[in-house]
Amino acid sequence: MPRRGAATALSAAEPAIRHETRRPNVAEFAEDRYRKALAQLRAGHTAEARALLSASLQAAPAHVEARQTLAALLSRAGHNADAETLLREGRAVVPDHGGFALSLARLQAARADISGAVATLQDVAGTASVDAEYHGTLAAFLVQLDRHADAASHYEHALRQQPGNGTWWAGLAMSLEAQGRRDEARAAYRRALQTDDLPEKLADFVRARAGK
């Protein structure tokens, strides 16, 4: 049987077990609020989701998903000016984020500010964050400004990534035709028809132009 003194010494050598609760850091807090907001959205609780998303952004202004989700909710509710402000703030925090620029440009275009939408998109058009949809949207806005050479360039960018998009082939064809490049335009119209994904009215127009 061990001596009492030895047992006491052994007990004293054992480390004390401390139960500490670690507070989440700022990024974890923001992500937690974002996840809870998504759960509220799935449950149909939009107001609660908006409050949680705002809390997420107050903690971490660079939380991209929270900002995009809140901007979409604001726009859906008709608060486009607030959504624009939120996206502009996002661009100040993450200047090269293509998603912020694309969402902002669409809101600008919705209030007929096509020149502003183009300027917004062109600001980050050369960054790695842009995709085919970005180039296709920019091209469509450029067409509205009769900037057909620039539009054709962006349609070509988009089609290199998604060659099966008939609407973009049709847009490219129209931009080429506007520049007098008729043979190239006719070939692009035919490529548009080969995709089989054109809206009916656009398909009728493309078929008529493809034979000319």
The per-residue pLDDT string of the chain (212 residues; one tens digit each, 9 = 90 and over) reads: 445 555 454 444 555 555 555 566 999 999 999 999 999 999 999 999 999 999 999 999 999 999 999 999 999 999 999 999 999 999 999 999 999 999 999 999 999 999 999 999 999 988 878 999 999 999 999 999 999 999 999 999 999 999 999 999 999 999 999 999 999 999 999 999 999 889 999 999 999 998 86
Using only C-alpha atoms, the chain has a radius of gyration, in whole angstroms, of: 27
Dihedral angle at the C-alpha atoms of 129, 131, 134, 139, nearest 10 degrees? 130
Put simply, whether the predicted model's pTM sits higher than 0.95 gets the answer no
Task: Report the distance separating Cα 88 and Cα 94, nearest Å.
Answer: 10
Structure tokens at 50: 């908006």
At 56 the three-state DSSP class reads helix
The runs of H, that is alpha helices, within 23-165 are 26-42, 46-59, 64-76, 80-93, 98-110, 114-122, 132-144, 148-161
All structural domains of the chain: 131-212 (1.25.40.10)
Nearest to 32 by CA among 53, 61, 62: 53
Other CB atoms within a 10 A radius of the CB of residue 14 amount to 7
Task: Report the distance separating Cα 79 and Cα 74, nearest Å.
Answer: 5
What letters, b where the CB count within 10 A reaches 16 and e where it falls short, cover 115-154? ebbbebbbebbeeeebebebbbbbbbbbbeeebbebbbbb
Structure tokens at 85: 């402000």
Structure tokens at 161: 């990534």
